[in-house]
């Protein structure tokens, strides 16, 4: 019963974390497009965490759920670094596709460096090299698995999501503008 309650509380904490992250991103970026594209990296983090647990032979536990909660913050930062660069380049007059390609090249190294450094720091936990390996092993495995999958997929999926949503937003905006011109005439 305690474990079920802990899972429920951690699940609610994850939903609250995602909502808070989205709200902060909307306020920071001044719109919903970039934050929504950034959140596309989260499912891949969770999938990677679960695959990491499966490969390591660990079960889904409270500490694994805490690792998944940590992933929400860690993974979103990589996508923020990428999309922020794209937005700055778009403001300079570069097309969305060119901005995405430039940001991918420019931000690849920092994204990989932060992911590799975090993975390196968590390896002792994942390998159970410190005293309380039972509790923290699943946390380390979850975060490492989630980071590996989300880092690789953030560099592919987030730019695709951003470009598709950007095109849709521009098309909707153009259609609304055309409709208002037609109504005025």
The pTM of the full predicted model, rounded to 2 decimals, is 0.81
pLDDT score of 113: 92
pLDDT score of 37: 87
With a cut of 50, which residues of the chain have pLDDT below it?
none
pLDDT score of 73: 86
Rounded Cα–Cα distance for residues 150 and 106 (Å): 18
pLDDT score of 55: 93
Rounded Cα–Cα distance for residues 14 and 99 (Å): 32
pLDDT score of 176: 77
pLDDT score of 130: 65
pLDDT score of 142: 93
pLDDT score of 170: 83
pLDDT score of 135: 63
Helix (H, G, I), strand (E, B) or coil at 57: coil
CB 176 within 8 Å of CB 74: no
DSSP output for 95-160: -HHHHHHHHHHHHHHHHHHHHHHHHHHHHHHHTT-STTHHHHHHHHHHHHHHHHHHHHHHTTHHHH
């Amino acid at each position: 019963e305690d474990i079920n309650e802990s899972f429920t509380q951690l699940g609610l904490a994850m939903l609250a974390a995602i909502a808070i992250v989205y709200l902060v991103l909307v306020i920071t970026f001044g719109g919903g497009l970039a934050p929504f594209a950034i959140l596309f990296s989260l499912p891949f983090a969770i999938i990677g965490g679960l695959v990491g647990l499966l490969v390591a032979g660990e079960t889904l536990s409270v500490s694994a759920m805490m690792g998944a909660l940590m992933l929400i913050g860690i993974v979103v930062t990589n996508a923020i670094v990428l999309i922020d660069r794209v937005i700055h380049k778009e403001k300079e007059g570069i097309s969305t596709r060119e901005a995405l390609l430039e940001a991918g090249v420019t931000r690849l190294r920092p994204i990989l460096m932060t992911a590799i450094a975090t993975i390196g720091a968590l390896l002792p936990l994942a390998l159970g090299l410190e005293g309380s390996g039972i509790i923290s092993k699943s946390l380390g495995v979850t975060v490492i698995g989630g980071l590996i999958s989300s880092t690789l997929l953030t560099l592919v999926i987030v730019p695709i999501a951003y470009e598709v949503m950007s095109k849709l937003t521009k098309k909707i905006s153009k259609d609304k503008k055309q409709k208002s011109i037609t109504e005025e005439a």
